Amino acid sequence: MFNKWRTSLLSILVILMLVGCNDVSKMTSDEDKQIRESAVQYIKERYQKELVITKVTKGRILGDYGIEGTIKDGKNTPVVIVSEPPKGFHDSYVKSLFSDELEPSMKELANRTFDLRMVDRFTYGYKKDAERKYTGQIPSVFDVLKKGDKDLVLHVDLSVYQQAGQAQKVISQFLHELKKMNFNDIGIVVYVYDDSLKSASKKEDSDKYLLERYNIFTDVQTMDINNLESYKTVIKK
C-alpha cells in the first residue's frame, strides 16, 4: 500500500514539475495587443457589435487565450471569448442573451411549481459541439423555442422541499411544463430537502436534511416524464 501511495505521489510531483517547466502563459505586449485586436474584430464580424475588453489571460499548458469583456449592445452584456489555436474563437454571447431573457420566466415557473428553496444555477445555450449559428441580430429566445432548436441545452439546478413526499410528482409537473415550452436537451438537477429544514436554525448544516437528488440529462420531448426512478439517487431515508 505504501509503495502504491509513494508511486502516485512521485507521479503527481513529476507532472507538476513538467507543468512548471512548460508554462506558456506569459505574453509579450505585441501578443497581448494582437489577441485583443483579433477578438474585437471577431465580435464585430460575428455580431456587428463593439467589444470592450477588460481582461486577457493565456493558458499555462495549451496556450489558449481567454478574453473577458462586455459587448456594447445597449445592455453591456458580459461576454467570455476563448481562442484555441488553431480552432479559432468561440464566445458566450448567445448563451448570455438567451439565459438573461429566459431566466425570469424560468424562476417564475420554478416558484409556481415547487416549494422552492433556491435556484442554484440556470443557463440556456449551445451544446458543447453544436454549430454556433446565431450571428448578427440575435433573435428572441422565445422565437428560438418555437422552433425547438436541438442545438441548445437547458441547465437548471434546483433545491426544493419534499412537500410531504410529493417531490417526484412535482418534478414531473415541472418537466411537463418544459416540454410544453418546446425545450429539447435538458440537464436538470433537483436536490430534495426534508420539509423540516424550513424551520431549522440557519446554523444547521443543510446537507443533513438532503433526502434525494435527481440528475435528469436527456431529451425532455422523448423521456417518460412520469417515471423518474432511474434518475433518482437516495441520499437519506
The predicted-structure confidence for 117-143, as pLDDT tens digits, reads as follows 999 999 999 998 899 999 999 999 999
Q: Which three three-digit cell numbers place residue 135?
A: 450571428
For residue 19, pLDDT beyond 60: no
* Alpha carbon 122 to its chain's center: 7
Say whether both 80 and 117 belong to one domain.
no
142 lies in some domain = yes
Say whether both 120 and 230 belong to one domain.
yes
Q: Has this prediction a pTM greater than 0.95?
A: no
How are beta strands 210-219 and 232-234 bridged, if at all? antiparallel
Say whether both 135 and 58 belong to one domain.
no
CA 32 → CA 20, 25, 35, 158, distances in Å? 22, 11, 5, 40
Higher pLDDT, 21 or 89: 89
How high does pLDDT run on average in the chain?
89
Say whether both 100 and 80 belong to one domain.
no
Q: Name the β-bridge partners of 125.
A: 153
The number of folded domains in the chain is 2
10 lies in some domain = no
17 lies in some domain = no
Residue 5's pLDDT is 45
153 lies in some domain = yes
Say whether both 84 and 120 belong to one domain.
no
9 lies in some domain = no
Task: Assess contact for 47 and 93: CB atoms under 8 A.
Answer: yes
Say whether both 181 and 86 belong to one domain.
no
* Residue closest to 32 by CA, chosen among 76, 62, 81, 66: 66
Mean pLDDT across 45-71: 91
Q: Return d(Cα 39, Cα 32) in angstroms, integer.
A: 11
For residue 17, pLDDT beyond 70: no
Task: Assess contact for 231 and 192: CB atoms under 8 A.
Answer: no
Say whether both 80 and 158 belong to one domain.
no
CA 144 → CA 54, 155, 181, distances in Å? 30, 16, 11
> What are the contacts of 132-140 at 24+ separation with CB within 8 A?
132/90, 132/94, 134/94, 135/46, 135/47, 136/46, 136/47, 136/48, 137/48, 138/47, 138/93, 138/94, 138/97, 140/101
Burial of 13 (0-12, 13-18, 19+ CB in 10 A): exposed
Q: Which three three-digit cell numbers place residue 179?
A: 416540454
127 lies in some domain = yes
Residue 237's pLDDT is 76
Say whether both 112 and 221 belong to one domain.
yes
Say whether both 100 and 197 belong to one domain.
yes
| Domain span holding position 78 | 23-91
Kindly report, residue by residue over 155-189, the tens digit of the pLDDT: 999 999 999 889 999 999 999 999 999 999 999 99
Residue 85's pLDDT is 72
Say whether both 160 and 83 belong to one domain.
no
Q: Name the β-bridge partners of 58.
A: 65
Say whether both 44 and 135 belong to one domain.
no
Say whether both 181 and 84 belong to one domain.
no
Kindly report, residue by residue over 195-235, the tens digit of the pLDDT: 999 999 888 899 999 999 999 999 999 999 999 999 999 99
